[in-house]
């Protein structure tokens, strides 16, 4: 009775190949080897580099993976460092500054600061430097984007 190698696992096949009497059963050796090689594609597929379908999917205070909102004042958004983890789907992502947005927003925001916000802050009896702080904070928030990490850790 010949063993049905198609029902063997890869480990079992390798085990069988290692222990078989190759002189006595050359045709079985052949079958095990072809069974093993037929399973190779499925195995090596998961090891393919994933950089070809890498899509950063930039988001503005949203998770780049599940696209759920991440609040400005949430623990995740205020966590120090660029590597973060989505509170909804726990996919890793990174935050980065989009300097183009920063540069474009800088001039109008500066005028708002000079003619609107600063006089308002001063008229309320606060130090004008608070306005500068608010503006810098707003600019940073405004230019902040979240994107997927290139090679996410398998969780």
Nearer Cβ to Zn ion (31/84): 84
Phi and psi torsions of 146, nearest 5°? -110, 140
Strand partners, 96: 145
Cβ proximity to Zn ion: between 3 and 87 the closer is 87
Distance CA 92, CA 102 (A): 24
Q: Which two tokens stand for residue 120?
A: 């308002």
CB of 57 to Zn ion, least distance (A): 11
Nearer Cβ to Zn ion (8/146) = 146
DSSP 7: G
* Residues contributing to the site for Zn ion (CB under 5 A): 63, 65-66, 86, 88-89
Least separation in angstroms between CB 100 and Zn ion: 25
Nearer to Zn ion, 88 or 98 (CB): 88
Nearest approach in angstroms of CB 69 to Zn ion is: 10
Q: Which residues contact 94 (CB under 8 A, 6 or more apart)?
A: 82, 83, 84, 146, 147, 149
Q: How far is the CB of 82 from Zn ion (least distance, A)?
A: 17
């Amino acid at each position: 009775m010949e063993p049905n190698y198609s029902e063997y696992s890869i480990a079992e096949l390798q085990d069988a190949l290692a222990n078989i009497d190759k002189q006595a059963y050359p045709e079985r050796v052949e079958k095990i080897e072809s069974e093993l090689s037929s399973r190779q594609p499925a195995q090596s597929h998961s090891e393919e580099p994933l950089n070809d379908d890498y899509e950063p999917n930039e988001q503005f205070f949203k998770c780049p993976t599940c696209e759920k909102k991440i609040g400005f004042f949430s623990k995740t958004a205020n966590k120090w460092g660029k590597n973060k983890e989505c509170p909804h789907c726990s996919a890793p992502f990174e935050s980065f500054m989009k300097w183009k947005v920063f540069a474009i927003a800088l001039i109008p925001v500066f005028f708002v600061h000079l003619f609107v916000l600063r006089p308002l802050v001063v008229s309320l009896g606060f130090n004008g430097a608070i306005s500068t702080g608010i503006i810098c904070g707003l600019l940073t928030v405004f230019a902040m984007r979240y994107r997927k990490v290139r090679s996410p850790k398998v969780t």
